Amino acid sequence: MPLSSPLLAMRNIDKRFLGAHALAAATLEVEPAEVMGLVGQNGAGKSTLIKVLTGAHRKDAGTIVFWGKEIEFASPQEAQRGGISTIYQEINLIPYRSVAENIFLGREFRRYGLLDWRRMNGEAAELLRRFAIEIDVRRPLMEFSTAIQQMVAIARAVSFKSRLVIMDEPTSSLDEREVAVLFDVIRQLRAEGVSVIFITHRLDELYQICDRVTVMRDGRTVMVSAIADVDKLHLIAAMLGRDLEAVRQRSTGFRGTSGAAGGEVLAAERLVIGRKVRDARLEVRAGQIVGLAGLLGSGRTEVARAIFGADPADSGVIRLMGKTVSPEEPADAIALGVGFCTEDRKVEGIVPDMSVRENITLALLPRLTRAGIVDEARQREVVGRFIARLAIKTANIEQKVRELSGGNQQKVMLARWLCTDPKLLILDEPTRGIDVGAKVEIQSLIKELADQGLGVLMISSELEEIVEGADRVFVLSDGRTVANLPHAEATGPAIMAAMAHDVGPVSVDGSDRG
Amino acid sequence: MTSARFPLTEAIVVDAQAIARLRASPNVAGFLRRYAALTGLVALLAFNFAVTPNFTTWQTLNVNLTQVATIVIVSVGMTLVIATGGIDLSVGSLMAISGALAPLIFLSPFGRDHATMGIILAFVVPVAVAGLFGLFNGWFITRFRVQPIVATLVLFIAGRGIGQVITNGNLQAFKNPSFQFIGLGRIFGVPCQVLIMLALVAGAAWMLRRTLFGRQILAVGGNEKAARLAGIPVAPVKRWVYAISGLCAGIAGLVVVSINSSSDANLVGLGMELDAIAAVAVGGTPFTGGRATVVGSLLGALLIQLLRYTLLANGVPDAAALVVKGAIIAGAVWSQQRSAAS
pLDDT mean over B110-130 = 94
Number of neighbours of residue B72 by Cβ within 10 angstroms: 32
Please tell me the distance from the alpha carbon of residue B312 to that of residue B25, in angstroms, as a whole number. Answer: 36
Instruction: Give the residue with greater pLDDT, B154 vs A499.
Output: B154
Domain total in chain B: 1
Q: To the nearest whole angstrom, how far is the Cα of A418 from the nearest Cα of chain B?
A: 12
Number of neighbours of residue A161 by Cβ within 10 angstroms: 9
DSSP string covering B82-137, please?
Answer: HHTT---TTHHHHHHHHHHHHHHHHHSHHHHHSHHHHHHHHHHHHHHHHHHHHHHH
Residue B51 lies in a domain: no
In the predicted structure, residue B13 carries a pLDDT above the cut 50: no
* Mutation to test the B interface, candidates A301, A341, A360, A362, most B Cβ within 10 Å: A362
Spell B300-321 as b/e; 16+ CB within 10 A means b: bbbbbbbbbbbbebeeeeeeeb
The helix (run of H) or strand (run of E) holding residue A107 is none
Please tell me the distance from the alpha carbon of residue A402 to that of residue B336, in angstroms, as a whole number. Answer: 19
Q: Residue A68 corresponds to which amino acid?
A: G
Using alpha carbons, list the distances in angstroms from residue A496 to A293, A461, A504, B105.
9, 11, 15, 76
Q: To the nearest whole angstrom, how far is the Cα of A347 from the nearest Cα of chain B?
A: 7
Sorting pLDDT into bands at 50, 70 and 90, what band is A507?
Answer: very low
Tell me what pLDDT residue A296 has.
62
Using a CB-CB distance cutoff of 8 angstroms, which residues of chain A are in contact with residue B233? 329, 331
Q: Is B168 exposed, middle or buried (0-12, 13-18, 19+ CB in 10 A)?
A: exposed
**ipTM of the complex model:** 0.83
In the predicted structure, residue B25 carries a pLDDT above the cut 50: no
Please tell me the distance from the alpha carbon of residue B108 to that of residue A89, in angstroms, as a whole number. Answer: 67
In the predicted structure, residue A506 carries a pLDDT above the cut 70: no
Using a CB-CB distance cutoff of 8 angstroms, which residues of chain B are in contact with residue A376? 210
Q: Which CATH superfamily is domain A253-337+422-507 in?
A: P-loop containing nucleotide triphosphate hydrolases (3.40.50.300)
pLDDT digits (tens, 9 = 90+) for A303-337: 999 999 999 999 999 999 999 999 999 999 999 99
Using a CB-CB distance cutoff of 8 angstroms, which residues of chain B are in contact with residue A371? none
**Cross-chain residue pair B231–A373, CB shorter than 8 Å:** no
Number of neighbours of residue A149 by Cβ within 10 angstroms: 19
**Cross-chain residue pair B233–A358, CB shorter than 8 Å:** no
Give me the half-sphere count of Cα atoms (radius 13 Å) on the Cβ side of residue B137: 39
In the predicted structure, residue A271 carries a pLDDT above the cut 60: yes
Task: Give phi and psi for A365, each to the nearest 5.
Answer: -45, -45
Long-range interactions of B139-143: CB distance < 8 A, separation 24+: B139/B239, B141/B86, B141/B238, B141/B242, B142/B234, B142/B235, B142/B238, B142/B239, B143/B235
Q: Residue B17 corresponds to which amino acid?
A: Q
Q: Residues 192 to 251 of B: which have CB under 8 A from any A CB?
A: 210-213, 215-216, 218-219, 222-223, 225-233
Examine domains A8-91+161-248 and A253-337+422-507 and report if their fold is the same.
Answer: yes
Number of neighbours of residue B324 by Cβ within 10 angstroms: 14
Task: Give phi and psi for A96, each to the nearest 5.
Answer: -80, -15
Tell me what pLDDT residue A189 has.
86
Using a CB-CB distance cutoff of 8 angstroms, which residues of chain A are in contact with residue B222? 351-354
Q: Which of A199, A283, A333 has the alpha carbon at shortest distance from A512?
A: A283
Q: Residue A246 corresponds to which amino acid?
A: A
CB of A421 within 8 Å of a chain B CB? The answer is: no
In the predicted structure, residue A29 carries a pLDDT above the cut 90: yes
Q: Which of B17, B40, B61 has the alpha carbon at shortest distance from B293?
A: B17
Tell me what pLDDT residue A337 has.
96
**Cross-chain residue pair B231–A369, CB shorter than 8 Å:** no
In the predicted structure, residue B12 carries a pLDDT above the cut 90: no
**Cross-chain residue pair A363–B231, CB shorter than 8 Å:** yes
Pairing of strands A220-226, A212-217: antiparallel
Tell me what pLDDT residue B257 has.
96
Please tell me which of the candidates B210, B215, B229 has its beta carbon nearest to residue A358. B215
pLDDT digits (tens, 9 = 90+) for B317-330: 888 888 888 888 88
Tell me what pLDDT residue B3 has.
40
Tell me what pLDDT residue A71 has.
92
Using a CB-CB distance cutoff of 8 angstroms, which residues of chain B are in contact with residue A350? 223, 226
* Mutation to test the B interface, candidates A332, A347, A350, A353, most B Cβ within 10 Å: A353
Q: To the nearest whole angstrom, how far is the Cα of A417 from the nearest Cα of chain B?
A: 9
Please tell me the distance from the alpha carbon of residue A436 to that of residue B15, in angstroms, as a whole number. Answer: 45
Please tell me the distance from the alpha carbon of residue A282 to that of residue B171, in angstroms, as a whole number. Answer: 70
In the predicted structure, residue B21 carries a pLDDT above the cut 60: no
A376: helix, strand or coil: helix
Using alpha carbons, list the distances in angstroms from residue A138 to A112, A131, A135, A144, B74.
21, 17, 9, 12, 46
Pairing of strands A455-459, A220-226: unpaired
**Cross-chain residue pair B223–A352, CB shorter than 8 Å:** yes
Tell me what pLDDT residue B35 has.
75
Q: What is the mean pLDDT of chain B?
A: 88
Tell me what pLDDT residue B146 has.
93
Q: Residue A325 corresponds to which amino acid?
A: V
Sorting pLDDT into bands at 50, 70 and 90, what band is B10?
Answer: very low
Tell me what pLDDT residue A440 has.
87
Please tell me which of the candidates A347, A362, A374 has its beta carbon nearest to residue B219. A362
Ranges of H-type helices in A13-91: 46-54, 76-81
**Cross-chain residue pair B229–A342, CB shorter than 8 Å:** yes
pLDDT digits (tens, 9 = 90+) for A416-429: 999 999 999 999 99
pLDDT mean over B104-126 = 93
Tell me what pLDDT residue B39 has.
84
The CATH number of A8-91+161-248, from 3.20.20.30, 3.40.50.720, 3.30.360.10, 3.40.50.300, is 3.40.50.300
In the predicted structure, residue B236 carries a pLDDT above the cut 70: yes
Its domain, for residue B79, covers: 63-328
Count of residues for chain B? Answer: 342
Tell me what pLDDT residue B76 has.
98
Q: Do A164 and A196 contact (CB within 8 A), yes or no?
A: yes
DSSP string covering A138-201, please?
Answer: TSBGGGS-HHHHHHHHHHHHHHTT-SEEEEESTTTT--HHHHHHHHHHHHHHHHTT-EEEEE-S
Instruction: Give the residue with greater pLDDT, A145 vs A396.
Output: A396
Spell A433-468 as b/e; 16+ CB within 10 A means b: bbbbbbbbbbbbbbbebbeeebbbbbbbbbbebbbb
In the predicted structure, residue A508 carries a pLDDT above the cut 70: no
Using a CB-CB distance cutoff of 8 angstroms, which residues of chain B are in contact with residue A352? 222-223, 290
**Cross-chain residue pair B229–A348, CB shorter than 8 Å:** yes
In the predicted structure, residue B32 carries a pLDDT above the cut 80: no
Please tell me the distance from the alpha carbon of residue B220 to that of residue B290, in angstroms, as a whole number. Answer: 7
Instruction: Give the residue with greater pLDDT, B8 vs B238.
Output: B238
Tell me what pLDDT residue B311 has.
87
Count of residues for chain A? Answer: 514
Please tell me the distance from the alpha carbon of residue B309 to that of residue B295, in angstroms, as a whole number. Answer: 21
Torsion of CA B209, B214, B216, B221, to 10 degrees: -90
Tell me what pLDDT residue A170 has.
82
Please tell me the distance from the alpha carbon of residue B74 to that of residue B76, in angstroms, as a whole number. Answer: 5
Please tell me the distance from the alpha carbon of residue B131 to that of residue B243, in angstroms, as a whole number. Answer: 5
Please tell me the distance from the alpha carbon of residue B169 to that of residue B9, in angstroms, as a whole number. Answer: 42
In the predicted structure, residue A441 carries a pLDDT above the cut 60: yes
C-alpha R_g of chain A: 24
pLDDT mean over A279-301 = 89
Residue B334 lies in a domain: no
Q: Residue B29 corresponds to which amino acid?
A: A
pLDDT mean over B107-115 = 91
Of A400-404, B165-169, B310-314, minimum mean pLDDT range: B310-314
**Cross-chain residue pair B222–A351, CB shorter than 8 Å:** yes
Closest chain B residue to A359, measured at CA: B219
pLDDT mean over B20-45 = 67
Q: Do A93 and A101 contact (CB within 8 A), yes or no?
A: no
Q: To the nearest whole angstrom, how far is the Cα of A368 from the nearest Cα of chain B?
A: 9
Bridge partners, residue A339, by sequence: A425
Q: Residues 326 to 385 of A: which have CB under 8 A from any B CB?
A: 329-331, 334-335, 340, 342, 347-354, 358, 362-363, 365-366, 369, 372-374, 376
**Cross-chain residue pair B290–A349, CB shorter than 8 Å:** no
Tell me what pLDDT residue A500 has.
67
Using a CB-CB distance cutoff of 8 angstroms, which residues of chain A are in contact with residue B228? 310, 329-330
Using a CB-CB distance cutoff of 8 angstroms, which residues of chain A are in contact with residue B218? 351, 354
Tell me what pLDDT residue A18 has.
66
Sorting pLDDT into bands at 50, 70 and 90, what band is B180?
Answer: very high
pLDDT mean over A25-30 = 94
Q: Do B306 and B200 contact (CB within 8 A), yes or no?
A: no
Please tell me the distance from the alpha carbon of residue A308 to that of residue A328, in angstroms, as a whole number. Answer: 8
A175: alpha, beta or left? (left if phi > 0; alpha if psi -120 to 50): beta
Number of neighbours of residue A311 by Cβ within 10 angstroms: 12
| CATH code at position B126 | 1.10.3470
Please tell me the distance from the alpha carbon of residue A295 to that of residue A134, in angstroms, as a whole number. Answer: 20
Q: Which of B313, B301, B288, B252 has the alpha carbon at shortest distance from B47?
A: B313
In the predicted structure, residue A474 carries a pLDDT above the cut 70: yes
Domains of chain A, residue spans: 8-91+161-248, 253-337+422-507, 355-419
In the predicted structure, residue A405 carries a pLDDT above the cut 90: no
Instruction: Give the residue with greater pLDDT, A128 vs A454.
Output: A454
In the predicted structure, residue A293 carries a pLDDT above the cut 60: yes
Q: Do A457 and A424 contact (CB within 8 A), yes or no?
A: yes
Task: Give phi and psi for B254, each to the nearest 5.
Answer: -65, -40
Q: Is B2 exposed, middle or buried (0-12, 13-18, 19+ CB in 10 A)?
A: exposed
Tell me what pLDDT residue A192 has.
85
